[in-house]
Amino acid sequence: MWDYTDKVKDHFLHPRNVGEIENPSGLGEVGSLSCGDALKLSIKVENGIITDARFKTFGCASAIASSSALTEMVKGMSVEEAAKITNQDIANSLGGLPKEKMHCSVMGREALEAAIASYRGIILPMAQGEIVCECFGVTDLEIIQAIKESNLRSVEEITNFTKAGGGCGKCEDRLREILQATVNGLPVEPRKEEKVRRMTTLQKIKKIEEVLAREIQPTLQKDGGNIELVDVDGDFVTVSLRGACASCQASRTTLKEYVEKKLREQVIDTLIVEEAKP
Amino acid sequence: MNCGSDQVIYMDNNATTRIAPEVVDAMMPFLTDCYGNPSSMHTFGGQVGHAVQDARQAVAGLIGAEPEEIIFTSCGTESDSTAILSALQTFRDNRHVVTTRVEHPAVKSLCASLTSMTGHKHRVTSLTVAADGTLNLDQYRDSLSDDTAIVSVMWANNETGVIFPVEEMAQMARERGILFHTDAVQAVGKIPINLHDNAIDFLALSGHKLHAPKGVGVLYVRKGTPFVPFINGGHQEQGRRGGTENVASIVGLGRACQLAAETMEEENTRVRALRDKLEKSLLATVPKARLNGHPTQRLPNTSNISFEYIEGEAILLHLNKYNICASSGSACTSGSLEPSHVLRAMGVPFTAAHGSIRFSLSVYNTEEEVDFVLDKIPAIIAELREMSPFWAPEKMKQAGGDVS
């Protein structure tokens, strides 16, 4: 159960300005069905003043409430004033939002930006950034703006505000880089090539072959057996036992207690050695 | 604290259930006068020990087991962890586990952690499900290998109610010398289970899903199955689970199992009829509503319906306004930003996954309640759809494209 303020509940249960303006002066559409929330905001501008604003929202209670509150806020404002509205303003007007739901207020601000841009006939730079979070299609420019606007200080906060990192979580390191650079007032460096953190499969194969040839094969050959490398898939090393080893009752023990142990010691300690199926 | 339980329409029984009044009555003496330790030598404690034994008998009776095959635990999750980790410790060389993509987090998260435990790295096969949430037994057979230590497959899915053929699957595992565990938390008490007749080695159940209190569970371990305790300590539960018994809850669970045996038929007739009425009416009266899960291979109490183009949390909060309790698989309710892993595994499109609502009934529900819910839902759905930017285009498409 989310702890919503009475204002959120009021805007959710009695939303204001639902609908679409025919022939709007500006139209902002953000979010998508797959993301779980989306907002279509249309505004009417007369003599530089926003005279009407309407919304359609797909999303949870706080998404609907944020949209409703936003339309109330902008009505009567000049376009210049409206352009200064931040997501925090939207959240404040609702008496605050649960931290996990702050992205709903960010969605409101983004839709407003998009509507104003469409009124002014300009294209927003946001969409042109580098896609950092592929699950929710969030760009680095959007993330940097959220960090600055809401003074974000952790990856978790970035996720709460922009949803970036809330899906598979693969972009967490990149989010940390962007956060660090932005907080320190530095420009964000373009994404570096995937760093070599672990051994590549090729490196593993070479190392495994080396250990097999240097230590394991000579030992097994003494007992009239031998071993061959069949495949390496991730941490799974498939081998085939030959000669005396192939029919030896203790082959499984040899494999686990000797071969696997040696390879773990000398190559990488996560390896799992398995015998090839006949 | 007054929770207003007399006003709510509770259709969230797969989350937890009301404690049966009979269960509370059975428990009361053990929360007041009968506070002895069941392990004590004196009569005062010993009689409490007898009550625990009676409860063990009652639990065994409901699932067709022997009393000594019943281990009381703290919850279903503990039972699941105990079973799976026991098997892995028994067969240390067998580093393969078979499970499904739609398990409860109790099993899913544990299995996910197995792949990264240093020094005991395990391979986990997570079986996929079809669009109706059912498993493919050929895929299952192929997944079993010589180094598989244990299979863990839920008896019935908590979100969709889909029932898996665990008895057949357990038999296939046994033929390969592989242990079989089932998380039967949702199935026990709702459908007949007889462990005498099948090859299941471990079974987990949870008290609070069948009208007993929270904080008590059971792990069934078939006689002769190798077992390594999860919690070591005193000699309680014959040394298989240390820790002083949660006596009152255990007694309550025993009573709840007796009641479940008595209401099993009602669950499968009257409750099923209520569920069917709710489901059929919603699917008939609400456009673009779809059932998630197999229509018949399913628990009698569960219905998971998607209302397309709207979001589940919003529906739940509107239902909440009328004191109707249900749950949703939408992102906003799953505690993450993505919709339920069960619906995603079934390939439910995003248009529908976010708008899924699970109704789960119990013997305490009435026809009046179902009628009340049926009366309220269509308007809620219509109101939220009017607000959805995706609904108007869909409505036009329907009006224009589907004239028949």
Q: How confident is the model at residue B225 (pLDDT cuts 50, 70, 90)?
A: very high
**For residues A236-251, average pLDDT:** 78
Q: How confident is the model at residue A241 (pLDDT cuts 50, 70, 90)?
A: confident
> What is the CATH architecture assignment of B21-260?
3-Layer(aba) Sandwich (3.40)
Ordered by start, the domain boundaries in chain B are 21-260, 265-401
Give catalytic residues of B, as residue numbers. Answer: 332
Whether residue A196 has pLDDT greater than 50: no
Query: Which of B123, B147, B388 is opposite residue A58, by nearest beta carbon?
Result: B388
Q: How confident is the model at residue B401 (pLDDT cuts 50, 70, 90)?
A: low
- β B356-360/B302-307 pair status: antiparallel
Whether residue B100 has pLDDT greater than 90: yes
Mean pLDDT of chain A: 87
- Select from B310, B311, B350 the residue whose CB has the most chain A CBs within 10 Å, as the one to mutate to test that interface: B311
Instruction: Give the C-alpha separation, B138 to B264, whole Å.
Output: 32
What pLDDT score was predicted for residue A192? Answer: 63
Phi, psi dihedrals of residue A63, rounded to the nearest 5°: -70, -45
What pLDDT score was predicted for residue A127? Answer: 64
Q: What angle do CA B102, B103, B104 make, to 5 degrees?
A: 120
**For residues A252-266, average pLDDT:** 83
The model's pLDDT over B372-400, given as tens digits with 9 standing for 90+, comes to 999 999 999 999 999 999 998 887 777 76
Would the CB atoms of A166 and B338 count as touching at under 8 Å? Answer: yes
Whether residue B119 has pLDDT greater than 60: no
What pLDDT score was predicted for residue A253? Answer: 79
Give the type of residue at A274: E
User: Encoding tokens for residue B386?
Assistant: 């009017």
Would the CB atoms of A40 and B336 count as touching at under 8 Å? Answer: no
Name the CATH superfamily housing domain B265-401: Aspartate Aminotransferase, domain 1 (3.90.1150.10)
Whether residue B333 has pLDDT greater than 70: no
Give the type of residue at B61: G
Cβ-Cβ contacts under 8 Å, B338 against chain A: 36, 135, 166-167
What pLDDT score was predicted for residue B403? Answer: 39
| Alpha-carbon distance values, B24 to B17, B28, B30, B51 (Å) | 13, 6, 10, 15
- Measured between CB atoms, does B389 come within 8 Å of chain A? yes
The model's pLDDT over A10-34, given as tens digits with 9 standing for 90+, comes to 999 999 999 999 999 999 999 888 7
Q: Which residues contact A45 (CB under 8 A, 6 or more apart)?
A: A25, A26, A51, A79, A119
The model's pLDDT over B136-189, given as tens digits with 9 standing for 90+, comes to 999 999 999 999 999 999 999 999 999 999 999 999 999 999 999 999 999 999
The model's pLDDT over B310-323, given as tens digits with 9 standing for 90+, comes to 999 999 999 999 99
Share of chain B above pLDDT 70, in %: 96
Domains in chain A with CATH codes: 1-124 (3.90.1010.10), 130-194 (1.10.10.1100), 201-275 (3.30.300.130)
What pLDDT score was predicted for residue B404? Answer: 39
User: Encoding tokens for residue A240?
Assistant: 């085939």
Q: How confident is the model at residue B334 (pLDDT cuts 50, 70, 90)?
A: low
Whether residue B49 has pLDDT greater than 80: yes
Rounded to a whole number, what is the distance in Å from the CA of A2 to chain B's nearest CA? 9
User: String of b and e for A177-202 (b: at least 16 CB within 10 Å)?
Assistant: bbbebbeeeeebeeeeeeeeeeeeee
What pLDDT score was predicted for residue B256? Answer: 98
Rounded to a whole number, what is the distance in Å from the CA of A29 to chain B's nearest CA? 9
What pLDDT score was predicted for residue B118? Answer: 44
**Which is the catalytic residue, given A60, A104, A168, A171?**
A104
Asked if A168 is an active-site residue, the reply is no
